[in-house]
Amino acid sequence: MLPDKWEQTKGHILDTFSNVEISAMELPDPEVGKKEIVLFSGPLGQMKLEYYTKPVILNRNTHGSRRIGSHTAVEYVYSNSDFTHYLKVYKLDLDSDEWQEMAIEKGSFNL
């Protein structure tokens, strides 16, 4: 989902549904990027949307040797201008009180 569509979706949720909570956070190490979370009460019950923005990985450098017991490390080179965006949709399962991820097809998310 592109950032413009995400902003339209958030606006629609704020205008239509009740009990809307919006928060944003940086992803924990070793990941790079940010995540926006929208919680609201919808027609299917309590819903949660997670919108991820991550920089595109340009290169991956592996450091290490072939010696037994040696340490290896992976260094990623990220783009400063190109980002990837994706959306995850969850529904609260009242029986187990856990978030269940809903399957959505690319380009088919509508409220």
pTM (2 d.p.): 0.81
pLDDT of 106 above 70: no
Average pLDDT over residues 53-77: 86
Q: What are the residue boundaries of the structural domains of the chain, listed by start?
A: 3-102
pLDDT at 88: 92
Q: What pLDDT band is residue 63 in, cutting at 50, 70 and 90?
A: confident
Q: Report the percentage of the chain scoring pLDDT > 90.
A: 54
d(CA 94, CA 92): 6
* The predicted structure's pLDDT at residue 62: 86
- The first and second tokens of residue 48, run together, are 């949660």
The pLDDT of residue 83 is 93
DSSP 23-48: EEEEPPTT--SEEEEEEEEETTEEEE
**b/e string for 42-78 if b means 16 or more Cβ within 10 A?**
beeeebbbebbbbbeeeeeeeeeeeeeeeeeeeeeee
